[in-house]
Chain A
């Protein structure tokens, strides 16, 4: 009985701990994609400028 209670207790605690630290994996990937787009655009314009100079 006490073992089941403990299990329940542990199961309940786990999601509470997770919500402390928000899940930012998706945001991280979005930020990296946006960053890659900005970097590629900047490098593209820079290379065009250098080639035409």
Chain B
């Protein structure tokens, strides 16, 4: 197959860019554990969320020094528990599921942004270094009250 000299150059650049993107992505996925939040294959019966541990008692639990586990339930149109406070520098392991439809879980200004699907438990870890009030909102359209679905996390 005959290729023009310029075609060879741009094909090399294109394939090179793709290789760089995939190497960076692969390195981060395997060495830093950056994987999709729902990729852990933890499932739950979505009709029995309120009876299934640990989602029968949603809340923040201290599991170490400046380390919390946040068990949360997303529902139309809010999050359970409603309010929480942690100290600055705390690492929070979020485990979130939905008791009805697909919701979003996005903490504005951070990399925490995941889909909450009924039947799946989404996990994500974040360290809150800066004090402030963090807005948590739903970014998956979930019904008529979608725009009111939000909560806040206070970092002192």
Contact = CB atoms under 8 A, between A and B. Distances in A.
Interface in B68-85: none
A21 B13 contact: no
Q: From DSSP, what is the main secondary structure of chain B's interface residues?
A: helix
Given A35-B17, A42-B21, A28 B111 contact: no
Interface stretch (B4-12, B40-48, B58-66, B140-148): B4-12
B4 A35 contact: no
Contacts of B110: 52
A39 B109 CA distance: 23
A30 to B, nearest CB: 10
A38 B10 contact: no
Interface of B: 4, 6-7, 9-10, 13-14, 17, 21, 24, 109-111
The 3 A-B pairs at the shortest CB distance, nearest first, are namely A28-B6, A31-B10, A24-B6
B13 A35 contact: yes
Secondary structure at the A interface, as helix, strand, loop or mixed, is helix
Contact of A28 (B9, B17, B24): B9
B17 A22 contact: no
25 contacts: A21-B4, A22-B4, A24-B4, A24-B6, A24-B7, A25-B6, A27-B6, A28-B9, A28-B10, A31-B10, A31-B14, A32-B10, A32-B13, A35-B10, A35-B13, A35-B14, A35-B17, A38-B17, A39-B17, A42-B21, A46-B24, A49-B111, A52-B109, A52-B110, A53-B111
Contacts of B13: 32, 35
B141 to A, nearest CB: 23
B146 to A, nearest CB: 25
A38 to B, nearest CB: 7
A38 B109 CA distance: 23
